[in-house]
Each structure stands twice: as structure tokens, then as C-alpha cells.
Structure 1
């Protein structure tokens, strides 16, 4: 049992194209599940790509024609003996094939089914094809990304698909855990829209009584410290580099007047007070020299590298984030490896396999029934009963534990008496904290040790993203905490992974986007690189850590043993580089490039400007592309003229009438989203009473579990809001709590003011 892969014995049927479904299947496969991928003639549009070969490696591939009785019967036989079904069918398509939730529950009551569509199944757009660009356009997210020109821009990184893959995989695991409690399977659905909204939790929210800091938010016009160096390469620096000796000397040499003059050329930056002067100074040395100097002085920085260059990274290889795979057509290539670590570890299960004929080689009887635990009749959230101690800060750690709270876990957030470092960005902070009880405790102090130990004994899971040297000083590393509670699942998110020279280095999403090539790709051909504002590295790392935690918890249900699990910003972001691989000669396979105008990747997949606004088109298969050509011409100039000559709604009606997937590119949608009754009905909103802000509205649920609820009823905590409650719950007496407060080791919120 201890040596078997964690998901050994779980059978998954996968029926999906693109990124989200196949990438979720890949995670389940490399955690030990048997994944059988079903491919139909309609799914041929993306077969043969490099991305396809990575996402579907190691899976059994079966060719089935679901338009025939034999194909449908073969699929039904597979589902009868399966534990999990992943698909990307719209509700109507699923029902036509007998794959709606009700029919599946009758055919196999233990089956966990996860549909990854375009929109939630209760949304009016649920029948739309799962095309990421169209979802982002309709949500208004293409207008949230700064560009090199005014107006909305095409987002090159398919971040929603990658996030949806992790939401799918974690939802499946949560439902498998609930199945052990309830004795039945059920839904674990998500969508591209829900995934795309995850980063907007930082930005799209509304308070009844906002403070000035909350109302200000974080503008998309904030200057980004991405600077051109003497050799033409660009370096992304996070936080101020002013204390690094070269920068300090140069600033002093310029003098205050010249520094002020350079700074005045740009809007103020919340991360770099001398943004303009830094930019001018960095132009006088090569990028590599700057990065080496900054790292020597603990300033986080990274060169904006070409796409795929990260495959040569010694740090990535040290953590197996890059692995060698014997590709049948390309030879020994380097691909992204698993993005997280558990015991036993995830394992690449070979290259892309050949497509097998329609008759599956061997069948499996229905899995054995599982008896529900006594008293488990009430519909509970999937993770009800799990207890999580959140010691993290910034984004990745707190967002991960917020997701565990959404799934039903009881989460206690611990922060210093002075407050989490992110509280200064109030809207961003609130977007990662709902569902938690908030406690203030000064870690690392002898007087706080008893309270910390009580928290650790209470917890099933401890999760944080504190750099490990600091964690050891504070006594919150795995070795220290597992001595207190040996059954703990301890999860750590690092920047660069738990091994290698950079294992303890600071890092941020911005640096991972730079290292993995996304800043160059998002800039467009011939343009300066651009950071994707959505902070996707943090969210990818958060989700991969949740996946690791749930795997460890799933194993602990059998063994009773805890373990340390890990994820990282680098590993999670590097997985998205799967569009390319490194060839045996060191070359990188080509990828689609964003055009200089930042409108798209091809005439069939781009934004077009109509007479009164932008419109997005995503024509992927041959029939759609042919229809597009007949309607608007084949040449780019012809198409731009066709779109530009008519209002958007008329162009949209013509495209839809011809069967070409398209959506309007909506702008300034933050308030409109929160006012949208369709989004509210689809579960995309959450609201609760906050101690300071009054009624607080935020992005809602990221999953739909059908008969099982999410827990979205607790507002983000004010500083020290639940300290008194938690200390009493853990058995600390009034005298102990008073001593903690007197010594400045805790704070207790005053209920009348919402302040400590």
C-alpha cells in the first residue's frame, strides 16, 4: 500500500479536447490512476500538436465513434466500470449521449463526473463551445490586460484552460474523498469561466462601506518593473532594487533632482518608488549582469527569456519539473514534469501511445460499493471535517487554503499582530481569505509556542509559503511541526522548488512568467515583453498545492500517516510551457506567435475591430474556418474591412448564422459582472457580512458539486477577528490569552469597531 501510487486502482475515462480536460487527466494519471482517453472523429482538430503529445502521454487511447450505436455501447461499457469520467461536453450534448448527471448516476452510482465546459451549467451560455478566447471576451477579461495599444488585447497565455485543469483535478479528488464518506459519486464540475475568474478575485469585488485602500484597488495602469538592459534583453524586478549596491550607487550619483525627473515620467509604482530612475539606470548594464547582482543581494529578478528556454534550467531539472521522454516521432525530448511532490511521488508514465481500435482490450467490472459512514445522510461539502492551519501570506498560500475552505474545510488563518503583508492591498487580500477564522499570533516567540502547538495539534493540514530558512527560525518547518502532530499533512509552496541551488530564493509570479517565456509571448512579435496581469503563477501554484494536499489526505485515509507535500511557482508555471518541447539537438519546437498588434494568433483566432467595438473569433475546425472564409474573405485585409464596415451585433449575427464561434469583446465589466443576474444564478457571485466593509460581494464558487454544497458563507476575517474564539476553542484560559495580548503576541478584535 505505501509503495503503490496514491491513485492506484482508480480508473478514469477522459473524453475532452484542448487543455483543461486532458491536462486534468494527465494529473490524475501521473498520480497513479488508470486513464483511458476516448477520441472521436470530432476531436481530431488538435491531435498531432506538441501540446497534445504532452497532455496525453502515458494514457491508453481508444478510437470511438459516438455517432454509432457500437461506439456509444463501448463507451457505456467503459463508464460502467469507471470511477471517474472527465468530459467537455455542453449539457445538451451530454444528455444526447446519455452522459447527463442523472443518467450516469443510474448507470454507475459511484461514478465521479467532471464536466469542464465554457460556462457553468446553470449559465445561459453553457451550450457555447469551450473556446477560451471567447469566454475571456464575454467576461470582459481581455479589457483587463494592459497592452501596447489602447483597448482590449488578445491574451496569449491560455491561463483559463490551465487553471480549469487544476480545478477539475482537485474537484475530482475532493469528490473521491467525499465518496468514501457518502458511499456514492456525483458531480465535480467546473468551467473555463470559473477558472478565468479566479485571478479576478483580486480585482472584482464590491464593499458596502469600502475603506480608501479597498476602493482604490490595483489599477491595470500600474507601471510594471520590466526594464530593457544594455544588451537589449529585458529584466523583471520585483520590489525595489534600490538597496542593491550597483543601483544604490547609481541613484546616489544621479542626485535627487535627476532621480525625481526620471520617476516623474511614469505613474507611481507600489513596488518600486524609484521606478523611472531604476529603468534609466538598468539600460547601462547587460541583463545577465543585473540579475546575478540582484540575486547576490536578495533582490528577486529574472530575465524575460524566450519561450522554452526554461527546459535548460538546472533548477527545473533538479526538481524534475523538466523530464526526458522518448517521443515516438521526435526522439528524446524534454517536456514539463509533474508540478508537485508527494510520497509516493507522481510519475511520468511514458510517451504518447498509439490510438487503439474501437474495441477496448479488456473490460472491468463495476467497482465495489462503498458503504456510507453512519450519520452521513446530510449533504455536506466535500471536505467537511478537515481542519487546516494556514500560516501563509501573499497570494499562493492563502488562495490555496481559501479553496480548501470553499470545499468545506475549517481553516484557521494565522498572521502577525501587525497584520499580513498583503493587508495594505485590501482588495487583493480579501480575494484570498474568505471562509477562514482569523487569528493573530507572533510566531517564533517563546511566549507564543503553547498557542502554536495547540493550533498544530488541532490541525489535519498545515499549509504555508514562508521561505524555509525563515520557517525553521519560526519553528514552523515540517520537522518541528510533525514532532507535535505526526499525522499532519504539511504543505509548502516555494518559489523554485524544494531542491537545487535556488530552493530558498524569493520569487513571484512575475519572475516565473519571465523565466517561462510568457512575457515575451504576451508582448507580441517585435514588441517589448509584457506581464500578464492576472498573476497566474500564484494561482497555478495554489491549485497544484491543493491537489497535493488532497492526494496526501486521500492516502492518509488508508494509512493514518501524514507526510510533507510541496509545490512551487516554477513547477506550476513551467507546466504551461507544454506547447513546446526541447528537441534532442537543444532546439525548441515552434509555437503560435501573437501578432504585433496584439489581436491574435491567426486570421481564424483573433480579435477584429467592428464599427462600434471589438469582436473575438475562434474558428478551430475545418468547417468553421471554411465558413469564416466564405463570409469575410481569406486575406487579413479583406476580413478587417468586412468587420470594420459593420456594427458588432450585425457581424456577430452573421458569424453565428454561419456556424463560426464568436463573442463580443466586452469592456469595463467589473461592476457589470457583480450586477449580472445570470452570473448570480450560476453561482459566480458570493456575498457575506464583513466586520469592516459591511456587505461584501466577491467572485463565487469555482466548482459545482450538484448535490453537495460549497461553503461560501464566511467573509474574509478582519485582523484578530476570531482570536478570542479560537483560543477558547483550543483550551487557552483567559489568563493565558491576556498574557499573549499584554506581550503583543496576539490581538483581539473589538466587535464594536472591527479593529484590534
Structure 2
């Protein structure tokens, strides 16, 4: 019988100086993959301990984002505490911070200070606009980055105006890119023995998530516009109305459209000059929508989806967050886990979603109380 492999980041020590969302999301992903994440907090606690939503006085937001970590509170302006931090870095593999550019230099804990203690350190700096550049010092929140990246300009409808995505994706996708960059740099460090400084910007990360819009702009020279739930290029690819609600239909091929027309009992649509290719269907989208919704009228969403599924076409209900998290699919995949917290009670979270072959999944570890592991962490540092 083959012995299961250890978690991919087993043995990796991460010193986490980050706060609120992008950085803690990154380090939570690393903890999910087996890394030992040491969270450095101020004496008052990391900012998100004081952000809602709350339950029994505990921030659920903080506890979800800081699962699997250990906490130590240090005053980084105090020379003794700063030296304790540098001792931790000396034996770590990774540092993650998301202070404004220049703050770590003023505190004496920047990449150069870390590298002087540990040449193989991978030091990730997360910021709104990068460590250098015309906007490097600008304040950045998710809303600001969504607005400046262009993603809001293509989200919503003409009537709604620019619309923020329904989650803080500017932060979370930056956390994903930071975790990817850290893992890549750790591989390089294993080969060369040298670490490096990673400059991860929210603005850059959001731009990297716009391949369709960027392609449209290059191909036509026309700035992409808001099209609601529609796909900007392919049709039919949208939400449509049945008798008891909305359903999603996603077709991006000629074969798929032909199958849809036959499923609808409207084979003549295949040779209709308005719909004979994808670009024409997109140009005549209102007319095609009328045909699809006329077919769906008199049918429930479930009945429509049964017909689409039988034809091998992609369609679905529109689930809310509760339905998605509680779905049989989510349960089967095991993506939602939970832990018991001494103050907040049962806290559920969505673990990092990649299945690493036969590697064992790290045991679930709850989020830490403030400074809970102070003596334990410093004792480990002194023992080395």
C-alpha cells in the first residue's frame, strides 16, 4: 500500500505581516496547502479582527481568512520586538506583507533587512499599485482598483452604469497571484539557494483578468461596453426567463446553436440569415432572445434544463450563495470545511480548491486568538 504524500507545502514556514484581505487570503491558501503560517499582529490585533460581520463579538470575516495560522503580537516600532521578528524571518521560507510601499523600509523590516538575515527568503509585497511607479503611494481598496482596472466599465448594464463585482475580487485574485508567485519562487529558491522580492499589485492582477475585453479592444479598436449577463462575443450566452424564474444558457459553437434550434423545434433558425454565425447572432441578440424566451414560456426552469441536458447543452439554474455552498456538488468536492472556535463557535470556510493527487490534506486548524502562540513561537526561534 502506497503511503500518502505529505501536503505540498509541509515544512514551509511563512511569516505573515499582512492585514485585512489580499495578504491574509494569500497566506490562508498557503496554510491550506500545509504551510506553517505565523501571523504577526499588532498589540491591538490585526485590523480585520475589528471588521464585521460579527457573531458573539468575534469577526467571522477574520476567522475565515485566518484559519490554519498561529498568532503572535509584536510592536514593530519596538527594537526588541523588531529583533524578534527578524529572528523569525531568519528561519522562515516566506514573508508576506501588504503595508503601503516604504513602510517596511522605515520599520527596518523590508526585503533587504530580511535578506541580510536569510538569503533564501521569498519576500512578497502586496500593494494596490506596486512598489514603484506613478501611483505607488496611492491608497487602494478593492473598489478603487475595480474602478481603475476597467472591470467596472464592462460590468452591469447600460441602465445600471458601471457596477462593482459582487465580491472583493481585486483583493482575492491578488491573493491568488501572490500565492502562485510564492510557490514559483520557492521552487526557484530550492534550485538556486537564493530567494527574491515579489512585487504583487492589485491593479496588475485585475488587468490580468481581462483577456476577453483586451482581445476585443485589440481586434476592433472599440472600447468594450457593458452587456449585462451576456457574453460580449458569443450568443446565446446569457440568462433567460422561464415561467418560474431565470435559467442560464451558454452556447459558443455552431454545432451547439444548431442543436438548440432542433431542441426548440425551430430548425429553421439554423438557416435564418440573422443567426447563421456567432457574430450575426450577437448582432441580432434581442431577436434571438425573443425566440428562446418564447420557447421557454409555459415551461418551468426545471423543465427547460431537463430538455437542455438531454440535448447535451450547457444550462443551469441561478443559485444564491447559500444554495451554492450547501449544494451536493460542494459537499462531494469537500471544499467547505469548518472548525470550532472558542468564542465564535462553528466557523465554516472554503478551502483552497486544488486537489493535489494523493497528498494528504492538512488537518483543519482553527483561526488563532490574538497572541495565542506568543511563547510557543518565540521558544521555537530561540531553540534554533
TM above 0.5, yes or no, is yes
- Alignment equivalent of 1:158, drawn from 160, 164, 168: 168
C-alpha spacing 1:42/1:193, structure 2 compared with 1 (3 Å): farther
Distance, in Å, in 2 between the alignment partners of 1:325 and 1:288 is 35
Q: What are the residue-to-residue correspondences of 1:508-657 with 2, within 5 Å? A: none
Q: Find out whether 1:235 has 2:247 as its counterpart.
A: yes
- Secondary structure in 1 matching 2:248: strand
Partner of 2:124: helix, strand, or coil?
strand
Of residues 20, 31, 34 in structure 2, which corresponds to 1:32?
34
Question: Which of 89, 106, 109 is the matching residue for 1:99?
Answer: 109
User: 2:311 is matched with which residue?
Assistant: 297
Give the secondary structure class of the aligned counterpart of 2:210. Answer: helix
Residue 11 (structure 1) aligns with = 13
Please point out which of 122, 127, 132 is paired with 1:117: 127
Structure-1 residue corresponding to 2:53? none
| SS of alignment partner, residue 31 of structure 2 | helix
TM-score (norm 2): 0.80
Matched, 1:338 2:352: yes
| 3-state SS in 2 of match to 1:323 | strand
3-state SS of 1:91 partner: coil
Mapping of 1:738-753 within 5 angstroms?
A: none
What CA distance in whole angstroms lies between the structure 2 residues aligned with 1:247 and 1:226?
A: 18
| Offset at residue 168 of structure 1 (A) | 0.6
Which of 362, 365, 381 is 1:347 aligned to?
362
Contact 2:146/2:206 (CA < 8 Å) preserved in 1? yes
Query: Pairwise mapping of residues 175-214 of structure 1 onto structure 2 (< 5 A)?
Result: 175-204=185-214
Match of 1:147 among 145, 157, 160: 157
Alpha-carbon distance in 2 for matches of 1:95, 1:317: 45
- Taking the aligned partners of 1:301 and 1:282, their CA distance within structure 2 comes to 13
The CA distance in 1 between the partners of 2:167 and 2:158, in whole Å, is 16
Measured in 2, the distance between the counterparts of 1:191 and 1:29 equals 22
| Aligned partner of residue 67 in structure 2, secondary structure | coil
Equivalent of 1:90, from 80, 100, 105? Answer: 100
Q: Deviations for 1:104-144, whole angstroms, at most 9, x for unmatched residues?
A: 21122121100111012122222233411112223343223
- The aligned residue for residue 374 of structure 1 is none
CA distance in 1, matches of 2:77, 2:299: 63
Question: Structure 1 residues 246 and 85, CA, compared in 2 at 3 Å: closer, same or farther?
Answer: same
Aligned with 1:305: secondary structure?
coil
- Larger deviation, residues 298-307 vs 331-340: 331-340
Measured after TM superposition, the shift of residue 99 of structure 1 is: 2.4
Question: CA offset at residue 45 of structure 1?
Answer: 4.1
Q: Is the Cα contact below 8 Å between 1:146 and 1:153 reproduced in 2?
A: yes
CA distance in 2, matches of 1:218, 1:300: 25
Question: Which consecutive residues of structure 1, in runs of 5 or more, have no partner in the other structure?
Answer: 369-756
Three-state SS of the structure 2 residue aligned to 1:38 is strand
Runs of 4+ in structure 1 off by over 6 angstroms are 259-262, 270-273
How well do the aligned residues superpose, as a CA RMSD in angstroms? 3.4
Does the Cα contact within 8 Å between 2:122 and 2:185 map onto a contact in 1? yes
Deviations 1:131-159 (A, max 9, x none): 11112223343223233625322332222
Contact 2:274 2:281 in 1 (8 A): no
Please list every run of 5 or more consecutive structure 2 residues that lacks an aligned counterpart in the other structure. Answer: 51-57
Does the C-alpha gap of structure 1 residues 45 and 344 become closer, same or farther in structure 2, counting only changes over 3 Å? Answer: closer
Q: Contact 2:16 / 2:40 at 8 angstroms: preserved in 1?
A: yes
**Match of residue 248, structure 1, among 253, 260, 264:** 264
Change (3 A) 1:51 1:202: same
1:218 Cα deviation (Å)?
Answer: 6.3
Q: Which residue of 1 aligns with 2:72?
A: 62
Partner residue in 2 for 1:706: none
Q: 1:283, CA displacement in angstroms?
A: 3.8
Deviation of the 1:341 alpha carbon:
0.9
